[in-house]
Amino acid sequence: MHIVTGGAGFIGSNLARALIERGVDDVVVVDDLTDGHKFVNISDLAIADYLDKDELLARLAADKGFLKGIKAILHQGACSATTEWNGRYMMENNYSYSQKLLHHCLEHRIQFIYASSAAVYGSSSEFVEDPLFENPLNVYGYSKIQFDRYVRRVVKASDSQVVGLRYFNVYGPREQHKGSMASVAFHLNNQLREDGEARLFMGTDGYADGQQVRDFVYVDDACKVNLWFLDHADKSGIFNTGTGRAQSFNDVANAVIKWHGKGKIRYIPFPDHLVGAYQSFTEADLTQLRQSGCDVVFRPVEEGVKDYLDQIG
């Protein structure tokens, strides 16, 4: 059994799809469908079962037979809203829940591959998996770094695989439910369809209009990294998951405009509420990922955006 938590979410549903496409027939999706709109992300997937997140914890605690049937937990479930400031809610969803899953996996030697985030780096200009460069700007980033710290402290010489993947700016299909937290490619595509223009922020932090840069990673490539570690159970650690090459928001907008064959960019004032809480530059250092042996090739924005828009139109 391969359990994907957050399996009705963005990365989780794509990961469930990727597993099924490689012939895995025991994919169990775990999520909280209080927001029932997310069902569309899994409605086309031949999953083996669906469990609510609370039901999963109950089964793990009470059903030894259930535990014995689990090969891996790919833990993508989290509150991913960087604008959410309810710290109690964030820590329960992103920290305490993850702790419980981790300990079940360690005790029963189940592969545990979980979603961390580049948000742990915050205002840092270096993106290396080292505490020296970890300085989150919001409670979401804090919840992620606190679990990474817990993993570093608890998982020492375990022979059970534990892998944390620090996702950078992931974009791609099955993200429509995320609203304001959906990728810039998603929003720019909608803007161009509605009124023919892509809106980007004016310059900030010394960057020219639209020239703030992020490490944009296509969701299929992020899934391939998960699958690589699933296939290499002897590899553990915390690894950046990005292209290793920062590209500008202008690059994303131009890729969307090229796909539509029309449109223009309009620059809007930088919002006051984001001043001091915005990453104007991210770029994954892939040294440790490559040293692990992971050889996944990451697509640039120009290729990823085309593939994305070819799918959603």
Quick one: pLDDT at residue 89?
86
Place of tokens 């305490």: 96
Quick one: pLDDT at residue 311?
95
Domains and their CATH numbers in the chain = 2-168+218-243 (3.40.50.720)
Per-residue pLDDT band for 204 (boundaries 50, 70, 90) equals confident
Per-residue pLDDT band for 263 (boundaries 50, 70, 90) equals very high
Helix axes 97-108, 53-62, angle to 10 degrees: 30
Residues marked as catalytic: 140, 178
The predicted model gives 91-110 an average pLDDT of 95
Per-residue pLDDT band for 272 (boundaries 50, 70, 90) equals confident
Take residue 202 and report the two structure tokens written for it.
């004016």
Of residues 56 and 93, which shows the higher confidence score? Answer: 56
Would the pLDDT of 158 be above 80?
no
The predicted model gives 11-38 an average pLDDT of 96
Quick one: pLDDT at residue 143?
96
CA-based Rg of the chain, rounded to a whole angstrom? 19
Quick one: pLDDT at residue 212?
95
Alpha carbons 222 and 49: distance in angstroms, whole number = 24
DSSP string, 205-246: TTPPTT--EE-EEEHHHHHHHHHHHHH-TT--EEEEES-S--
Would the pLDDT of 79 be above 90?
no
The predicted model gives 154-174 an average pLDDT of 92
Quick one: pLDDT at residue 134?
96
Quick one: pLDDT at residue 83?
72
pTM: 0.95
Tell me which residue of 16, 66, 68 sits closest to 44, measured CA to CA: 16
